[in-house]
Amino acid sequence: MRSDMIKKGLERTPHRALIKGTGVPQSELEKPFIGVATSFTDLIPGHVGMRDLERFIEKGVHTGGGYSFFFGIPGVCDGIAMGHKGMHYSLPTRELIADMVESIAEAHRLDGLVLLTNCDKITPGMLMAAARLDIPCIVVTAGPMLSGRGDGGRKYSFVTDTFEAMARYKAGVIDAKELQVCEDNACPGMGSCQGLFTANTMAILTETLGMSLPRCGTALAVSALKRRIAFASGEKIVELVKNNVTPRQIMTRAAFENAIRVDLALGGSSNTVLHLLAIARDAGVDLPLETFDILAKETPQLASMNPAGEHFMEDLDAAGGVAGVLKQLGDKIKDNPTVLGLSTLQIASSIANVDETVIRPVANPVKKEGGIAVLFGSIAPKGAVVKQSGVSAPMMRFEGTARCFNAEELAMAAIMEGRIKSGDVVVIRYEGPKGGPGMREMLAPTAAIMGMGLGDSVALITDGRFSGGTRGPCIGHISPEAADGGPIALVEDGDRILLDIPNRKLDLLVDEATLSARRAKWQAPEPKIKGGWLARYAKVVTSAHTGAITE
């Protein structure tokens, strides 16, 4: 075992003394040492219930014949960090989390890891570490939140009933009393936000990759099932250590293709593009950005999930969960190992019935193409990403007039003040991985556009990114970003921009001579943040089309 390096031999007497100093008995030194990386915090609804799951993971580890050690991992709530300086830190914490898990596992020679996670950047950060370390690992995602409930059985959800409700109030559609009702009911308790936002999408994809046990990706945070999954995961990690089953045996090219297809079939968050690219890199798997679009054209969207659709995570779980989606996708799914020991196809075949009102069959899809599309063109020569599952039919092809803003706050003010009109294309730039720095999410302006009733007449493009809660014609991840001198930096107010999702095009309708003249005058702006670790991050982070990784 790896842990023998710190607990066996005469020269490890000091090491054993320190281990015993933590309370470990002599009798336990022969057992596998299992690290439990926990992102418990009182700051995030998706994480407040983790103390309970930690107990069950610990019980499972000891039942399985291992000895557990807990260590903490930080978490940022994207919803709370939204719309101010805090959002600069969200995506960069993914790299910190991966580095921290790697550091603790290597420094203490842990034999295996249980990765307890839930929200947006924490799950991919832990998966990156698992792929990088390639020691036995299993992931436990803490589960989604129940939908809020109101009079007449109305269901409330975080994005629709806070961000979009705020804009509806501003537009005079709802009054202050209704806004307060939305605020009070949108988040009824523990768990990740109820729709297919980034946290829940990544939990589903973690299960699809084979890195967590069946139902883990959809079982509700408040359920006894989630406790049982936590216990079983603690048991299973000891078995994985004994059999030397490691993440790179599971996270293969086939596993990533399966994850992309499930993402497309559900219409998941566009952030998963960034995360799967980054995880694949650490797993040593070649996964070009174009893969998402190739698979999107042959993978139909099978579910209509909140925020762009009608169903919540509780509905998806009851309908069959991840296994149900795998079953419905049929021969589009490749067989691959999982931490359970059964293959993906065996897990899919174990589902007797799928609720086809929630997870439709391939022959009767919600849409013929998957939920994500990758666009290229004169604004985005290295690619851009749109959650096409959230775009209405009239906006799939749109030509509009550029309204340019060099920061999210400037665009948000223009939207809320009514300065954005039908036919406009809002351009938010210098918000990419380097320019942001940190590639901030644009949920506030996108939700404001929807709430102001402009979702079918205004588009938004950015070198930043979007929340999984974003819907409407919102194109992000534009590469190269403005801070690198990408074409989005050359757009001027009044330019015409063409968005053509069916033909995967995003073009600036300006002649090359004019662009060349603008390019000759362009100068990189001063960094928005000049101190702290984000200034260092900006110097080493790569473009969105590579997953916004650090080198």
- CATH code assigned at 215: 3.40.50.2300
At 198 the pLDDT is 93
In a domain, 474, yes or no: yes
CA distances to 80, 144, 207, 243, 344 from 340, in Å: 35, 22, 10, 12, 10
Beta-strand ranges (E) seen in 238-329 are: none
27 is catalytic: no
Residue 25: is the preceding peptide bond cis (ω within 30°)? no
Contacts of 352 (CB under 8 A, 6+ apart): none
Parts of the chain with a pLDDT under 70: none
Find the domain containing 512 and state its range. 374-546
In a domain, 443, yes or no: yes
Kindly give the pairing relationship between strand 474-476 and strand 459-462.
parallel
The burial class, CB within 10 Å (0-12 / 13-18 / 19+), for 394 is: exposed
Question: Quick one: 323 and 442 in the same domain?
Answer: no
How many CA atoms does the CB half-sphere of 267 hold within 13 Å?
32
Beta-strand ranges (E) seen in 350-393 are: 372-375, 384-387
Question: Quick one: 398 and 338 in the same domain?
Answer: no
Contacts of 443 (CB under 8 A, 6+ apart): 78, 79, 82, 159, 163, 466, 467, 469, 470
For the beta carbon of residue 173, count every other beta carbon within 10 angstroms: 14
Residues 480, 486 contacting (CB under 8 angstroms): yes
Of 137, 165, 185, which residue constitutes the final position of a domain?
Answer: 185
| d(C-alpha 339, C-alpha 140), whole Å | 12
Question: Quick one: 398 and 318 in the same domain?
Answer: no
DSSP 8-state assignment for residue 391: S
Q: Which residues are annotated as a binding site for Mg(2+)?
A: 78, 120-121, 441
Residues 481, 488 contacting (CB under 8 angstroms): yes
Token pair belonging to 402: 């550029």
Token pair belonging to 215: 């139902």
Report which residue type is found at 390.
G
Question: Quick one: 244 and 282 in the same domain?
Answer: yes
| 160: helix, strand or coil | helix
CA dihedral for 52, 56, 62, 65, sign (positive or negative)? negative
| d(C-alpha 206, C-alpha 139), whole Å | 8
Question: Quick one: 257 and 338 in the same domain?
Answer: yes
For the beta carbon of residue 276, count every other beta carbon within 10 angstroms: 24
Q: How many residues does the chain have?
A: 551
| d(C-alpha 481, C-alpha 348), whole Å | 40
In a domain, 364, yes or no: no
Q: Which residues are annotated as a binding site?
A: 78, 120-121, 441
Question: Quick one: 120 and 155 in the same domain?
Answer: no
At 447 the pLDDT is 85
Q: What is the pLDDT of residues 16-56, one digit of tens each?
A: 999 999 999 999 999 999 999 999 999 999 999 999 999 99
At 470 the pLDDT is 80
Question: Quick one: 171 and 116 in the same domain?
Answer: no
Angle ∠(187,189,195) on CA atoms, nearest 5: 50
- How much is the pTM? 0.95
Number of domains in the chain: 3
In a domain, 259, yes or no: yes
φ, ψ for residue 6, nearest 5 deg: -115, 0
Q: DSSP string of 508-549?
A: E---HHHHHHHHHH--PPPPS--SHHHHHHHHHB--GGGTS-
Contacts of 258 (CB under 8 A, 6+ apart): 208, 209, 326, 333, 334, 336, 344
| d(C-alpha 408, C-alpha 423), whole Å | 20
CATH of the domain at 518: 3.50.30.80
Question: Quick one: 134 and 246 in the same domain?
Answer: yes
Question: Quick one: 181 and 135 in the same domain?
Answer: no
Percentages helix, strand, coil for the chain (3-state, rounded to 5) are 45, 15, 40
| d(C-alpha 434, C-alpha 527), whole Å | 9
- Tokens 């989005």 correspond to 488
Of 295, 316, 349, which residue constitutes the final position of a domain?
Answer: 349
In a domain, 416, yes or no: yes
CA-wise closest residue to 231 among 111, 116, 110, 69 = 116
Give me the catalytic one of 68, 233, 467, 543. Answer: 467
Question: Quick one: 214 and 299 in the same domain?
Answer: yes
Angle between helices 90-107 and 532-540 (to 10 degrees): 90
At 467 the pLDDT is 80
At 221 the pLDDT is 97
Question: Quick one: 141 and 157 in the same domain?
Answer: no
In a domain, 14, yes or no: no
What's the count of helices (H) and strands (E) in the chain, helices before strands?
A: 21, 14
| d(C-alpha 219, C-alpha 265), whole Å | 19
CA-wise closest residue to 38 among 122, 150, 110, 146 = 122
| d(C-alpha 438, C-alpha 446), whole Å | 18
In a domain, 84, yes or no: yes
Question: Quick one: 458 and 345 in the same domain?
Answer: no
CA-wise closest residue to 448 among 415, 476, 497 = 415
Beta-strand ranges (E) seen in 85-200 are: 112-117, 137-141, 148-149, 155-156
Of 166, 185, 204, which residue constitutes the final position of a domain?
Answer: 185
In a domain, 22, yes or no: no
Question: Which element (helix H / strand E) includes 186?
Answer: none
